[in-house]
Amino acid sequence: VTRSAFLIELARGADALAIAELSRDSIEHGLGWRWTRDRVMSCIRDQSTNVIVARRTPSAAGNVIGFGIMRYQQRSDDETAHLLLFAVAPAHRREGIGSALLAWLETTALTAGTGVICLEARLANGEARAFYRHHGYCERAQVRAMYRGVEDGIRIAKDLWVNASAASRTSS
């Protein structure tokens, strides 16, 4: 297996369509396409949302092989970030790209003083559930018909502060 060299950086406007298409094909299949180019573009422009991409290297612009969209809660008393959308292109899975994207988002959340990352996934999405479990996320609740009223979902979260202090305890 040849592993791709890749880099992670903030998305640019020119990436919006590639991100939207990856969402349509990898995340929203069977549910209709709601994360369109315009919606992704508004996230890229939104101050309280991080949109990041993984690109194949060496690369000029383009070559999006994975992405993550994370929104910080607006309320000052609620220190959580919501991972809205996250995917790696099928040809590049199991190469550590998802882990690298997630690590970037977790580090950024911690730096911003945000202690909890929450997200939802389809209940039937075993690969995503395994991926988040691998990274210390906990499954909190199942929700019937979470997706467009037809498909069950699961709420997943990670307390970054608990995990960060546990990690520093084990390394000291």
Angstrom distance (rounded) from CA 88 to CA 6: 12
Strand partners, 8: 54
Q: How far is the CB of 77 from ligand COA (least distance, A)?
A: 27
128 binds ligand COA (CB under 6 A): yes
| Count, residues near ligand COA per rule CB under 6 A | 20
Angstrom distance (rounded) from CA 58 to CA 4: 10
134 binds ligand COA (CB under 6 A): yes
Binding letters toward ligand COA, positions 80-119, x by CB under 6 A: -----xxxx----xxxxxxx--------------------
Cα-based distances in Å from 7 to 56, 62, 65, 109, 166: 7, 12, 10, 19, 28
Q: Residue 9 or residue 127: which is nearer to ligand COA going by CB?
A: 127
Tell me if residue 34 falls in helix, strand or coil: coil
Q: How far is the CB of 128 from ligand COA (least distance, A)?
A: 4
Tell me if residue 28 falls in helix, strand or coil: coil
Q: How far is the CB of 52 from ligand COA (least distance, A)?
A: 13
Query: Chain-centre distance of CA 33, in angstroms?
Result: 18
Q: How far is the CB of 43 from ligand COA (least distance, A)?
A: 14
131 binds ligand COA (CB under 6 A): yes
Angstrom distance (rounded) from CA 70 to CA 104: 11
26 binds ligand COA (CB under 6 A): yes
Residues in Cβ contact with 22 at an 8 Å cutoff, skipping those fewer than 6 apart: 64, 66, 67, 87, 89
136 binds ligand COA (CB under 6 A): no
Give the closest residue to 106 by CA, choosing from 159, 55, 148. 159
Among 11, 51, 65, 121, binds ligand COA (CB under 6 A): 121
Residues near ligand COA (CB under 6 A): 26-27, 85-88, 93-99, 121, 125, 127-128, 130-131, 134
